[in-house]
Structures are given as C-alpha cells and as structure tokens.
Chain A
Amino acid sequence: QVQLQESGPRLVKPSETLSLTCTVSGGSINNYFWNWIRQPPGKALEWIGYIHYSGSANYNPSLKSRVIISVDTSKNQFSLKLNSVTAADTAVYYCARADNDFWSGSPNWFDPWGQGSLVSVSS
C-alpha cells in the first residue's frame, strides 16, 4: 500500500526557511492531491496546503504569503517551503494524500498520512 515519509531538517532558525520533502512509495504520485498539515505541540491540526500532481497548488490563506508547495513526479516526491519562520511554526509536519472526488474533481479526505516530522524553530 501507499506509504508517505517526511524528511528534512528538524531544527530551523527564526526568520529562515523551513523545507520538508515527502516521498511517496508503493504507488504513483499521479492523479491525487498531496497535502501538508501541521500540528503544534499539544494543539489541533492545521491544513497548510496542497499540490495537485499536475502542479496546481492551493494554500491556507493564513499562510499563503509564506508557503510554496511543489511536486517532482519523476521522483514521486513533493515538497514544502515555509519562509520567515518563527517559534509559532514549531510543529509536527505531516504529509498526506487526498484523492479526487468523482463528481467535482475536488480533494476528498486525507488518507494515508506520513508518520510526521517534528520541526523546531529556535536559534
């Protein structure tokens, strides 16, 4: 079955850029929406954005000015860049897949998820 694995630096300095990659194994990256979701310690889940395999992206308006999500179909990977980070961006970052709604073509629920990667923002 499809598995997702996040990778990237676990510690980022304030004002710098957080970069994570999600590698998809056991299936193709084509025909799905690929999402980033985060969870600050002890808090709820927050959707960051998605990239469609075609390259179209959509972001949470609250983060839109700082986020770029990209896809590399040749490597079966997609990536997150969040710039100008502060301590408030410290969180477990998850990648997750959403398939297409048959009728609307919109993303459906998120499943499966990666195991998550704790990224801390600190000097």
Chain B
Amino acid sequence: EIVMTQSPATLSVSPGERATLSCRASQSVSSRLAWYQQKPGQAPRLLIYGASTRATGIPARFTGSGSGTEFTLTISSLQSEDFAVYYCLQYNNWPPFTFGPGSKVDI
C-alpha cells in the first residue's frame, strides 16, 4: 500500500498570503495525483488532477506541481473561501487508492 503523508498538518496564514502544502508518497505514483479541498460539512472538491492540471472552474491561484514522490499545492494569494482542509490522493497504485491525512489552512 502506498502511504501518503502531508505537511504541515496545519498552516496558519493571512488573507492575501501564499500557502504552500506538501504531499509525499512512499513510492512513486508518477503524476497520478489529485488535490481536493474540503470545507466543514461538505464533500471534497476536486482542485487538481494529473499533479498539475486544474479542474474545471478552479481559479488560477491554485497551482499543483511535482511528480514521482514529491508534490506541492500552492495557493498564490489566499482568499477567505480558501480556508479549508486539503487532501492529496494517489490513483497510480491500487488497491487501495490512498489519501493523505490532510492539511488544514486556517487564519
């Protein structure tokens, strides 16, 4: 099973600042990695797939990068609606598909 780790667990930032979140896989997942945003009481929302492709309707301030075992999600200028928990998902080696433990971005 591929184990996904994320850091930091919590990131405290101010609106307008940049946020950088990391996701690491225990072995290579190529570029088959997605990022999700989840707000309380809501289902996860797809942000990025293929490590760097923004999903439909996702603002350009969200940028995904990386391949292999190291990935990054950057939010260039945080808006109030971006405060949430972010999960990475690997879909390269399965079963099982595995998610990271999440990174919370708060004010």
* Partner-B contacts on A (CB < 8 A): 35, 44-47, 49, 58-62, 94, 98, 106-116
Contact = CB atoms under 8 A, between A and B. Distances in A.
B81 to A, nearest CB: 18
B59 interface: no
Nearest to B96: A60
Nearest to A95: B43
Given A110-B89, A114-B43, A47 B98 contact: yes
The 7 closest A-B pairs by CB, nearest first: A109-B34, A113-B43, A60-B96, A111-B46, A47-B97, A45-B99, A109-B49
Contact of B91 (A45, A60, A62, A107): A107
B66 interface: no
A59 B97 CA distance: 10
A58 B94 contact: yes
B83 to A, nearest CB: 17
Given A60-B95, A109-B91, A111-B55, A45 B46 contact: no
Given A109-B34, A109-B89, A61 B44 contact: no
Contacts of B55: 111
